[in-house]
């Protein structure tokens, strides 16, 4: 009955377009089902068609299908209950095979032709199917409106070009040239749509990147605010973006902030309609190692066996296939792995199957997800142009800014037409990005770039603190402080310039212009990286700049004769080979793809063009070979220029508004304790103070604080603020606090406002009666205390932890009284002043410093209030010969390193002897260390976690990290007696009070005789010039213990005392 109703309903809906299909796979019940279907067809006068359920192409692929089904269902092939197809007939059958299965007595074969005749769909579109851009009422065409906003941009960006002579003509000609190509290709709406999306983001208060990819080579893109890089100044080529000799869809990717990305996507849906917007699918495929592991699992091959096999697959070059690993690939420089090849003939049939199946399945689709940023906008309903599916995955990009009022709204997004909450489901295309382009559809990549969120937050902080609105787009690229950031390698947080290798090169390069930054952005990649030393030497005149031919000097001059960019290869083809720039782009593409037949054709064309300019065939071949070599790894200059601008912007903010920038990037990286440590250390290097978390002062995020003016001038050069600056640790960055931090900040602000006082909470009892203890649980309180966030209560941490239960009980009782109306909720103690009687604190013994610091580090990720080395700072400064932040270690040299053992791990070597790996940390950084068994045996007693020691070790830098090979371990208690030679005191002869210090020093020395020499460095004026005299008190040998040095420091000052080896 159900089947009959189904057929009846569908025939009513679809009429003559409804068919019933018959299948014969030699499966059980095939014939029974087919008889019933024939009966239904006759009963309702519905036509039959013969089909085959195709799951794979050929019959021989049936075993592979079984393996794939087992992989998907996570079963083994030996499992009888696993999902599988009943026969091997589920392949694409030929007409003859279908005729053998069906006699066409019911016209089931002929009807398939009828269905085919009714279907017509074009997978590939010859013309782009761009959506129409909604035009303002005064305009009748997209071409007209694009011209209008382009010319508006001319006035804003260039001023009156008619009065600018040759340059003005160059601008005007470039505009006309580009508009001509854009309009002839039918891409005006594309530019209008992208320009509008970017403008929407900026209107809503979210930054957009200065450009990405080859679009920065377009002056129309620049004038319509799609990009922020002036293409003429940096010799960027339009043809690299849109080639008139190779018609293809333009590709403009947009960098938004993560939050702005979602806001603009919402705006897109509002503007073009939900039915016309969809995300793009991303299809994950099986790589070499993944397919081996997946197949091994279904074949039940032991994990240790498959791990040994996967390790045989080379990791480099990235993306190497299993076939390349087995057979080798000369072009990619991959040698055959004999052990892998031997498995194809292994005696174990399971291992043979593993390799055979893996080879066949590698590259097949493994999973689907959403493309990182791909979005299509269609002219009309998406589902009429593209197959779709519904994904349950959503992107949530939420981020709160420091000092931002949660209740404020900074966007101008149109209100939704519906008050209903948006569905969690996303509409996603079944076409991937390549098929989207073939179908002629508009795809735009909405990319979320965290660097832009940092820029946004920095600008907000600057505006809030300094009442100054900075427009980065209007900055000149000549700020000396900005270039100093690169020159000194202080590049944490600088977009794409943070790696240790890049920092090292930039310190050698000492860039002085944006072109240097652009070039390094392009050079710092495998391949061209080999030319970085040459580039640096040529910039500084240590190597002669040479050009392959004088006519190429204008093209290669900015990169000192080294072809760095794809655009340079194109220009060399144009200038010497006589190509148009469009043709030169085709030449560049052929060179990068290394197609032999195409290259032979282009070489002949290049020779002919060069010959017309009286250039010999030999010279033409020499230049062509050079171009071919560099085209393989030359980088897109437009992309480098755009990202170079963004790097400059971040460096400008860091150099000129250091506190605001460092605060913003700390908030961006708050979840990564290692990064927070690196960033706070660098902030200290700029003279900023890092303040601990405090329930009375911290916000949820890191914040900038002005400190009272001090005699210190550490921050005099930072930003435009005269007072000292600090960054306060945010409560949200403390482990286990998270949501509790938001409640504490809200309660603190309520209390401060009510009390009109600086401190919200007087003590732990006041705190517990003021916050919602459902949000701030005991674990969160313990974490706050151990992180130092309640130190302002003036009670040591161990005692506070011991009183958590008592304080929570007190708070719950007070809140209970408030809810029953006996007292004002959360307000009574704020208004009662000092008249509140708080319970007495339960006594507890304070934790030793080591224990206190250990707990603090566990919650903050590093030592903040103090460091285990603080007690040994004099020894560290006197005897350390390399800091763990340094990356310039000399090979085979023995260094002295003082630090805390933050990680220790024992390991058995091949002979069964115990060795040790671990991490040592000093004030500035960390390093991995190794003690081989012979060394570990000698110094095992000293290798205790958290101990402070001196290593005598060789050091080397690998992958940007310092590695230590330890030969000796000295316990910190013995470091000074082994290394100290003298104590040095500094005195100022021009200061009469210094004489009293000498008397006091003498008295201390006489009562603390020892074995260490005492020297004086005396500052004097000789003929009006300051000089330092070194005086040796040869008759005085003193005790160099900390107690004696502390006493001396109390007289002369800590800064005027040092020890040396």
Query: Per residue in 658-706, pLDDT tens?
Result: 999 999 999 999 988 888 988 998 898 888 999 999 999 999 999 999 9
The pLDDT value given to residue 557:
95
Q: Is residue 711 scored above 60 in pLDDT?
A: no
pLDDT 10s digits, 289-298: 999 999 999 9
Give the whole-angstrom CA distance, residue 897 versus residue 922.
Answer: 8
Does a cis peptide bond (omega within 30 degrees of 0) precede residue 317? yes
pLDDT 10s digits, 528-575: 999 999 999 999 999 999 999 999 999 999 999 999 999 999 999 999
Helix (H) or strand (E) holding 934: helix 933-939
Give the whole-angstrom CA distance, residue 789 versus residue 741.
Answer: 11
Q: Is residue 359 scored above 90 in pLDDT?
A: yes
Q: Is residue 759 scored above 90 in pLDDT?
A: no
Helix (H) or strand (E) holding 812: helix 804-819
Give the whole-angstrom CA distance, residue 187 versus residue 175.
Answer: 15
Q: Is residue 928 scored above 60 in pLDDT?
A: yes
The pLDDT value given to residue 414:
34
Least confident of 4-13, 386-395, 440-449: 386-395
Listed as own residue / partner, the contacts of 614-622 with beta carbons closer than 8 Å and 24 or more positions apart are 615/549, 615/576, 619/548, 619/549, 620/576, 620/577, 622/548
Residue with tokens 């295309």: 429
Average pLDDT over residues 949-972: 91
Give the length of the chain: 1061
Query: Strand 277-285 vs strand 365-377: parallel, antiparallel, or unpaired?
Result: antiparallel
Least confident of 70-74, 245-249, 676-680, 796-800: 245-249
The pLDDT value given to residue 478:
95
Q: What is the mean pLDDT of the chain?
A: 89
Crossing angle of helices 581-593 and 617-631, rounded to 10°: 70
Average pLDDT over residues 617-621: 93
Q: By percentage, how much of the chain surpasses pLDDT 90?
A: 68
Q: Which of the four pLDDT bands, split at 50, 70 and 90, describes residue 409?
A: very low
Query: Strand 277-285 vs strand 253-256: parallel, antiparallel, or unpaired?
Result: unpaired
Give the whole-angstrom CA distance, residue 676 versus residue 117.
Answer: 65
CB of 529 within 8 A of CB of 652?
Answer: no
Indicate the Cα dihedral angle 177, 179, 185, 188, nearest 10°: 170
Q: Is residue 912 scored above 60 in pLDDT?
A: yes
Give the whole-angstrom CA distance, residue 433 versus residue 392.
Answer: 20
Beta bridge partners of 927: 920
Q: Is residue 417 scored above 60 in pLDDT?
A: no
> Backbone phi, then psi, for 302, in 5-degree steps?
-55, 145
Average pLDDT over residues 771-784: 94
The pLDDT value given to residue 526:
83
What is each CA distance from 303 to 122, 279, 322, in whole angstroms?
47, 38, 19
Average pLDDT over residues 864-869: 88
Q: Is residue 401 scored above 70 in pLDDT?
A: no
Give the whole-angstrom CA distance, residue 243 versus residue 249.
Answer: 10
Tokens (6 digits) for 355: 């390799």
CB atoms within 10 A of CB 707: 14
C-alpha atoms less than 13 angstroms from C-alpha of 117 in its C-beta half-sphere: 5
Least confident of 329-333, 454-458, 778-782: 329-333
**Is 316 or 7 the better-scoring residue by pLDDT?**
7
What is each CA distance from 1006 to 379, 982, 1014, 1035, in whole angstroms?
94, 16, 12, 11
pLDDT 10s digits, 876-910: 999 999 998 887 788 889 999 999 999 999 999 98
Q: Is residue 11 scored above 90 in pLDDT?
A: yes
What is each CA distance from 729 to 441, 465, 473, 654, 775, in whole angstroms?
48, 18, 31, 19, 20
């Amino acid at each position: 009955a159900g089947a009959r109703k189904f057929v009846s309903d569908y025939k009513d809906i679809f009429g003559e377009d409804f068919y019933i299909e018959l299948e014969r796979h030699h499966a059980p019940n095939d014939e029974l089902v087919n008889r019933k279907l024939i009966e239904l067809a006759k009963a309702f006068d519905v036509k039959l068609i013969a089909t085959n359920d195709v799951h794979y192409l050929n019959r021989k692929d049936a075993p592979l299908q079984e393996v794939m089904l087992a992989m998907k269902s996570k079963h083994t092939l030996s499992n009888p209950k696993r999902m599988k197809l009943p026969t091997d007939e589920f392949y694409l059958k030929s007409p003859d095979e279908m005729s053998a299965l069906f006699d066409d007595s019911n016209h089931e074969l002929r009807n398939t032709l009828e269905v085919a005749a009714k279907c017509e769909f074009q997978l590939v579109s010859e013309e782009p199917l761009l959506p129409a851009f909604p035009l303002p009422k005064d305009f009748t065409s997209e071409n007209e409106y694009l011209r209008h906003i382009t010319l508006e941009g001319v006035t804003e960006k260039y001023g009156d070009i008619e009065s600018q002579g040759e340059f003005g003509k160059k601008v005007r000609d470039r505009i006309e040239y580009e508009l001509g190509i854009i309009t002839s290709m039918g891409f005006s709406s594309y530019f209008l749509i992208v320009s509008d999306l970017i403008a929407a983001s900026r209107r809503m208060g979210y930054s957009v990147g200065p450009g990405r990819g080859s679009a920065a080579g377009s002056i129309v893109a620049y004038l319509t605010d799609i990009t922020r890089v002036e293409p003429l100044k940096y010799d960027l080529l339009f043809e690299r973006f849109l080639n008139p000799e190779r018609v293809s869809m333009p590709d403009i990717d947009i960098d938004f902030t993560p939050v702005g990305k979602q806001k603009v996507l919402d705006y897109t849906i509002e503007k073009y309609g939900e039915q016309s917007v969809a995300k793009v699918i991303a299809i994950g495929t099986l790589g070499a190692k993944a397919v081996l592991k997946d197949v091994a699992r279904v074949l039940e091959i032991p994990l240790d066996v498959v791990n040994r096999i996967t390790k045989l697959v080379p990791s480099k070059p990235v993306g190497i296939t299993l076939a390349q690993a087995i057979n080798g690939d000369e072009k990619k420089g991959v040698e055959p792995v004999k052990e892998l090849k031997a498995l194809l003939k292994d005696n174990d049939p399971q291992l043979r199957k593993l390799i055979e199946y893996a080879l066949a399945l590698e590259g097949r689709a493994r999973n689907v997800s959403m493309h990182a940023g791909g979005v299509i906008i269609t002219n009309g309903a998406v589902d009429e142009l593209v197959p779709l599916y519904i994904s349950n995955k959503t992107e949530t990009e939420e981020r709160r800014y420091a000092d931002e009022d949660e209740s404020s709204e900074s966007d101008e997004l149109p209100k939704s037409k519906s008050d209903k909450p948006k569905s969690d489901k996303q509409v996603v295309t079944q076409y991937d990005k390549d098929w989207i382009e073939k179908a002629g559809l508009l795809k735009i990549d909405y990319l979320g770039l965290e660097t832009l969120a940092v820029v946004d937050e920095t600008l907000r902080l600057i505006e809030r603190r300094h009442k100054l609105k900075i427009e980065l787009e209007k900055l000149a690229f000549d700020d000396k402080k900005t270039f100093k950031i690169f020159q000194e390698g202080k590049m944490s947080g600088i977009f794409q310039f943070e790696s240790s290798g890049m920092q090292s090169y930039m310190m050698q390069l000492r860039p002085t212009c944006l072109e240097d930054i652009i070039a390094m952005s392009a050079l710092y990649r495998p391949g061209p990286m080999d030319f970085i030393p040459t580039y640096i030497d040529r910039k500084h005149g240590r190597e002669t700049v040479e050009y392959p031919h004088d006519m190429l000097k204008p093209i290669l001059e900015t990169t000192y004769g080294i072809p760095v960019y794809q655009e340079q290869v194109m220009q060399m083809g144009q200038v010497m080979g006589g190509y148009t720039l469009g043709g030169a782009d085709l030449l560049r593409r052929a060179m990068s793809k290394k197609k032999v037949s195409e290259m032979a054709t282009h070489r002949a064309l290049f020779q002919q063009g060069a010959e017309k300019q009286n250039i010999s065939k030999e010279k033409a071949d020499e230049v062509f070979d050079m171009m071919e070599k560099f085209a393989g790894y030359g980088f897109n200059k437009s992309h480098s220029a755009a990202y170079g601008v963004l790097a400059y912007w971040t460096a400008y903010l860091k150099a000129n508004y250091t506190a605001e920038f460092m605060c913003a990037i700390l908030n961006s990286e708050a979840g990564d304790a290692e990064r927070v440590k690196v960033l706070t250390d660098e902030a200290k290097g700029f003279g900023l103070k890092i303040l601990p978390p405090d329930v009375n002062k911290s916000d949820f995020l890191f914040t900038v604080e002005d400190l009272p003016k001090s005699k210190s001038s550490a921050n005099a050069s930072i930003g435009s603020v005269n007072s000292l600056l600090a960054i306060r640790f945010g409560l949200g960055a403390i482990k286990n606090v998270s949501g509790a931090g938001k409640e504490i900040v809200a309660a603190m602000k309520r209390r401060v406002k009510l009390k009109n006082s600086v401190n919200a909470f007087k003590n732990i009892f006041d705190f517990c009666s003021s916050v919602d203890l459902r949000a701030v649980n005991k674990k969160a309180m313990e974490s706050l205390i151990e992180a130092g966030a309640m130190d302002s209560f003036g009670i040591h941490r161990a005692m506070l932890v011991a009183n958590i239960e008592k304080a929570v009980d007190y708070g719950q009782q007070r809140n209970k009284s408030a809810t029953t109306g006996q007292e004002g909720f959360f307000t009574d103690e704020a208004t009662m002043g000092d008249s509140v009687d708080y319970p007495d604190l339960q006594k507890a013994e304070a934790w030793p410093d080591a224990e206190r610091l250990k707990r603090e580090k566990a919650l903050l990720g590093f030592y903040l209030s103090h460091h285990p080395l603080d007690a040994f700072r004099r020894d560290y400064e006197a005897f350390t010969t390399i800091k763990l932040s340094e990356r310039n270690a000399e090979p085979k040299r023995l260094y002295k390193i003082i630090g805390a053992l933050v990680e220790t791990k024992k390991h058995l070597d091949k002979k069964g002897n115990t060795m040790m790996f671990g991490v040592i940390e000093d004030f500035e950084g960390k390093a991995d260390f190794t003690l081989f068994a012979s060394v570990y045996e000698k110094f095992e007693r000293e290798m205790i976690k958290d101990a402070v020691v001196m290593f005598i070790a060789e050091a080397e830098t690998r992958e940007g990290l310092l590695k230590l090979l330890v030969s000796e371990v000295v316990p910190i208690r013995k470091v000074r007696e082994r290394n100290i030679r003298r104590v040095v005191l500094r005195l100022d002869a021009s200061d009469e009070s210094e004489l009293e210090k000498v008397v006091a020093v003498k008295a201390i020395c006489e009562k603390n005789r020892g074995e260490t020499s005492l020297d004086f460095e005396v500052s004097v004026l000789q003929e009006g010039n300051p000089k330092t005299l070194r005086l040796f008190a040869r008759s005085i040998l003193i005790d160099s213990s900390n107690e004696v040095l502390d006493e001396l420091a109390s007289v002369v000052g800590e800064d005027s005392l040092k020890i040396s080896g």
